[in-house]
Amino acid sequence: MNGEQRYDKGKREYTTAFLYPDGQEIILDHLDVELHENGIEIIGVKNMRVVSESKMNSLVSHYKAIMEELGIKTDPENEKTPERVVKALLEMTRNDGVGTEELDKQMTVFSSPGEALIEVSPISFTSLCAHHHMPFVGTAYISYVPDEHILGLSKFPRAVEWFSRKPSTQETLTIEIGKYLVGRLRPRKLTIVLEAEHTCVSSRGVKAHGVGTKTTYAYPKGDV
């Protein structure tokens, strides 16, 4: 195993990438590791995306071509930019949007002790605008009144992060998170609010800095 590696003593690792001998590029997030005298033992991997070496090379080549067409000259500061951009996009789009099986495995549900209002916030997130493929960054606020079940508190940030890792609009992202949590919990009430600033608004076009967007999902419908 070679490639970029960053780790600390203990069992918690950060976003990184490894290139394996068989040519697979592995994009990892929150890698659980144990450090031993003769190396690292991988304990568990979450939110992994795998592409072949040939696909990685193709993506990098295409981005180099885009830079050339835009008239961006290669210099020592940006000669590795195509690879960096591709790795960043692989990380930010690692949710394929097809199914929620991997997320389902991380959801822990308990019996509800009653009907108290439960609020989980603020939950920071970053996603990629579906229209311009530019980041939007914000905060999620989740509140619900349980019926028979409650969800482990750490699972709400996991759900927000999971749905954020693909190109989306804020409106769609809000609805997807809300519908998923309703399906898992069947609560009496649930409200999700996302507040975010979009770089496609602040950095291009109108260039309006400090403009925020607020979207709300409410269950039952209309119960805001």
| Range scoring the smallest mean pLDDT among 43-47, 95-99, 170-174 | 43-47
Cα–Cα distance between 93 and 90 in angstroms, integer?
Answer: 5
pLDDT at residue 2, rounded to an integer: 41
Residue 39's beta-bridge partner residues?
Answer: 36
> Chain-wide mean pLDDT for the chain?
81
Fold exhibited by the domain 101-219: GTP Cyclohydrolase I, domain 2 (3.30.1130)
pLDDT digits (tens, 9 = 90+) for 60-115: 999 999 999 999 999 999 999 999 999 889 888 888 667 888 889 889 999 999 88
Amino acid letter at 202? S
Give ranges for CATH 3.30.1130.10 in the chain: 101-219
- Pull the structure tokens for residue 175: 């609805």
pLDDT computed for residue 207 by the predictor: 87
- For residues 147, 152, 153 and 157, what is the CA-based torsion angle, rounded to 10 degrees? -110
Residue 46 has what pLDDT?
45
Which of 3-7, 29-33, 205-209 has the largest mean confidence? 205-209
Q: Does position 7 have pLDDT exceeding 60, yes or no?
A: no
CA torsion sign for 5, 42, 88, 161 is negative
Q: What backbone torsions phi and psi does residue 87 show, to the nearest 5 degrees?
A: -65, -40
Residue 17 in this model has a pLDDT that exceeds 90? no
Encode pLDDT of 186-206 as tens digits: 999 999 999 999 999 899 888
Distance, C-alpha 35 to centroid of its chain? 27
For residue 221, pLDDT beyond 90: no
Structure tokens at 116: 């108290």
Q: Which of 31-35, 58-62, 65-69, 115-119 has the lowest mean pLDDT?
A: 31-35
For the ranges 6-10, 62-66, 115-119, the maximum mean pLDDT occurs at: 62-66
Which residue reads 């750490």 in tokens? 154
DSSP output for the chain: -BS---B-SSS-B-SEEEE-TTSEEEEEEEEEEEEETTEEEEEEEEEEEEEEHHHHHHHHHHHHHHHHHTT----TTTTTHHHHHHHHHHHHT---SS--HHHHHH--EEE------EEEEEEEEEEEETTT--EEEEEEEEEEE-SSEEE-TTHHHHHHHHHHSSEE-HHHHHHHHHHHHHHHH--SEEEEEEEEEEHHHHSSTT--TT-EEEEEEEESTT--
The pTM of this model reads 0.77
